[in-house]
Every structure is written in C-alpha cells, then in structure tokens.
Amino acid sequence: MSIRERLSGNEAAAIAMKQINPDVVAAFPITPSTEIPQYFSTFVSNGTVDTEFVAVESEHSAMSACIGAESAGGRAMTATSANGLSLMWEMIYIASSLRLPIVMSLVNRAVSGPLNIHCDHSDAMGVRDSGWIQLFSENNQEAYDNLIMAHQIAENKDVLLPLMVCQDGFITSHSIENIELIEDDKVKEFVGKYEPEHYLLNHEEPIAVGPLDLQAYLFEHKKQQADAMVAAKKVILEVSERFEKMTGRKYGFFEEYKLDDAEIAIVCMNSTAGTAKATCDKLREQGIKAGVLKVRVFRPFPAEEIAKALSKLKAVAVLDKADSLNAAGGALFEDVTSGMFVNNIHVPTVNYVYGIGGRDTTVTDIEKVYKDLEEIVKTGDIKNPYRYLGVRGDN
C-alpha cells in the first residue's frame, strides 16, 4: 500500500535518500538543491538514518569525499546544481573513471555567467560525456522513483558507473505535488545492501585507487567505461521492470505520448514534457495529430530506440534547454539526429533552444512549435533547422 503525500521535488529526493540510508552523504549548499542535504541532515540529527553526513567546504570537496567513501566500500550520495557541479568537474571525471557508483541528485540550474539561479540544463549538458549515467525527471514523482532505482542500476556488476538524477530547479524542486511514496521496508529490500567486490578497506585484498594510468593502459580503461555505458541500457530496463512490479509505475528509456498515430511530435526532457503534453491534448481536440516523446534516459543515449519511435512521423522538433554554442544545435538535437541518420531514418527535424536562464515556456510557445512543424509538413521546406523559442527580438 503506497503512502500518499504532498511534497516538493527536493523533499521527495531527501526522503528517497532517507529510505536508501546510504553510508555517507557529503554536500555543500547551492541553490536550488540546498534543501536536499538540509532536509537529509535532519534525518541524521534525529537518528532516522545512521548515515555519516559530511559538511564540506566546497562542492569539489563533496565529490572528493564521496569518491573516498565509495572507494573504501561505502554507498555514497550527494546533491548539487549548476556552478556547484562545475566546481566538481575534475572529480566528476575521476568518479566515473574509477568506476564508483556514486548517486547524485542534480537540480538543474543555469551555469554562470552571468549569474543566474534559475532552471536550464546547461549544468547536466556540461558533463554529459563524463561517464555518468543521466536520468531526467518530469515531475516530483519521477525524481523520487529515479533515485530509488539509481543504486540498483549504478551498482550492477556490469555497470559500476556513477549516476545523476536530474530535475528542474524551482519548477519541480520547490513545487509541491501529490506523490506516492513506497514503504520503507520495500525500498530497503529493493535497493539491497551494497557489496562491492574491490574496495580499500578490504584487508584481504590490498589495492590502490587512482594510480597513474599512461599510454599502456588508459585507452583500454576508457573502452571499459564505454562498454559499461552500453551494458547500462539493459540494466536500466531490468531495474525499471522490477520497479514496475513493486509499484505499478512503468519506466523505460523514454515515454511515448500519443505517438501511435502522430504525424508531428516534440522531443523534450524534464518538466517541459508536462507543458508539451497539455499542448498536445489541446491540438488533438482540434484534430491535429500531435505527439510527444519525453526522454528519461539521456546517458546512455537510446539512439536506436528513439529513432525507431520517431520513424513514422512527418516532422519532428527537438527542444534543448541549453545552447551548445556550436552553431549546429543543442546536445539533445545532435544525439537525436545522429541516431536517426545512423539508423537510416530520415524525418525532417528542427531544433529549438528554449528556456535559458529560467525563461518561461508556455502552451502558446509550444503551440508555435507544432504550427511550425505543420508548415514543414505542408511545404517540405525546413529553412533554418537551428532555432530559438521565446527569445526577444528573434524573427
């Protein structure tokens, strides 16, 4: 019997961490993720968990402490946003290269500069190729559910990669929604006990962690990371299937919303999917065959599966809440179009960079995207595939 609650996304993340009861949580406050370690610290102080909470002097130190804890054989978690993730940058790569299944709650926020504390995806996109698994969450329920599944994915012997669960800063992190929590005992059973094969405190197997890795071996170790990311696809689906049996909530690489008979569709991530679905419903009432594909798993990127899901459409728009500043479209757009091309699927596809620095994206904005797609279907002319949505002065 699930527990019905009303929680913000940050509260939901903190409760998931409480139910997981990791060995170590190391964190440094940064808006809008500050509430997660703040809430969790109350669970530590009142004895609800027996986690070692490490209040560090910076986000670089937070990830360093998690690396130390995980290397020693413990289960470690943290939370951060934007500039905090940027300060971790060195250690983010070290965590993945050491194959340490650390779990982080990333509350998405614009990376400075100029300084902005509101939501876009520039932080997550900045480390998209660092070797971390990345799960995105449309709402508070998904942020909670993804965290409950995270350790079983990351700690799998075929994976052993760190994992970040993303949710939109303020939009979900501070908004209160109805949510169904899982009973503590069920979470404990689902997550299980962390039993690493190799760790520093194992006196029967002395090892070194983080040694110099030069020409003779580094290439092979990087290939092993790449192979683990490929293996993660199967594990993600297996864990999601187990989770569905426990809760009834189904998760895959992505969600197809009214795509079965759609002619035009939007591809997006996180909370924007809710606005896109509402717009899709509105257009369906007008007889327009619109659909939405919401990406949940961004790393590993399910290129073949997404390409197949989009193959029958007449036109597609990919929405990026971060600008790659490369004159060739955003990161999600590049991955989607690459996956379609490699799989020999050719559907007219355009990119919209939107929502930078927390700029509001409304149903009216999404309607414009669908209208543009209708025009592409009608004329067959894409014109400029690299577009901006909701920016002042843009024609």
Query: CATH: 3.40.50.920, 3.40.220.10, 3.30.420.10, 3.30.360.10. Which one for 254-389?
Result: 3.40.50.920
Longest Cα–Cα distance of the chain, Å, equals 70
In the chain, which ranges are E strands? Answer: 3-8, 24-27, 52-55, 76-80, 103-108, 133-136, 163-168, 176-181, 254-257, 264-269, 290-295, 297-299, 315-320, 349-354, 386-389
**Tens-place pLDDT, residues 43-82:** 999 999 999 999 999 999 999 999 999 999 999 999 999 9
DSSP conformation class of 360: -
Dihedrals φ, ψ of 243, to 5°?
-65, -40
Tokens of 133: 């698994």
Residue-averaged pLDDT of the chain:
97
What's residue 36's pLDDT? 98
319-345 mean pLDDT: 98
Instruction: Find, among 271, 300, 257, the residue nearest to 143 by Cα.
Output: 271
Instruction: Find, among 65, 170, 159, the residue nearest to 116 by Cα.
Output: 170
Helix axes 59-72, 89-97, angle to 10 degrees: 20
Q: pLDDT band at residue 2, thresholds of 50, 70 and 90?
A: confident
% of the chain surpassing 90 pLDDT? 98
**Tens-place pLDDT, residues 133-152:** 999 999 999 999 999 999 99
Three-class secondary structure of residue 237 per DSSP: helix
Tokens of 283: 């257009």
- Res. 300: pLDDT tops 80: yes
22-50 mean pLDDT: 98
Q: Is the peptide bond before 206 cis (omega within 30 degrees of 0)?
A: no
Q: Report the phi/psi class of residue 60: left, alpha or beta, with left for phi > 0 and alpha for psi in -120 to 50.
A: alpha
Three-class secondary structure of residue 257 per DSSP: strand
What's residue 395's pLDDT? 55
**Tens-place pLDDT, residues 87-98:** 999 999 999 999
Q: pLDDT band at residue 393, thresholds of 50, 70 and 90?
A: confident
**Tens-place pLDDT, residues 77-132:** 999 999 999 999 999 999 999 999 999 999 999 999 899 999 999 999 999 999 99
Tokens of 16: 């998931």
Work out the number of other CB atoms within 10 angstroms of the CB of residue 173.
30
Domain at 3-247, CATH homologous superfamily? Thiamin diphosphate (ThDP)-binding fold, Pyr/PP domains (3.40.50.970)
% of the chain surpassing 70 pLDDT? 99
In 129-246, which ranges are E strands? Answer: 133-136, 163-168, 176-181
Listed in sequence order, the residues at least 6 apart from 165 whose beta carbon sits closer than 8 Å to its beta carbon are 13, 103, 104, 105, 106, 135, 137, 143, 146, 147, 150
**Tens-place pLDDT, residues 162-172:** 999 999 999 99
What's residue 1's pLDDT? 65
What's residue 211's pLDDT? 86
Domains 3-247 and 254-389 equal at CATH topology level:
yes
What is the separation, in whole angstroms, between the first and last Cα of the chain? 53
330-354 mean pLDDT: 98
d(CA 187, CA 180): 13
Q: Is the peptide bond before 32 cis (omega within 30 degrees of 0)?
A: yes
d(CA 356, CA 358): 5
d(CA 256, CA 111): 30
- What residue ranges do the domains of the chain occupy? 3-247, 254-389
Which H/E stretch holds residue 88? none
What's residue 268's pLDDT? 98
- Is residue 25 within 8 Å of 76, Cβ to Cβ? yes
CA 158 to chain centre: 20
255-281 mean pLDDT: 98
Q: Is the peptide bond before 113 cis (omega within 30 degrees of 0)?
A: yes
Q: pLDDT band at residue 389, thresholds of 50, 70 and 90?
A: very high
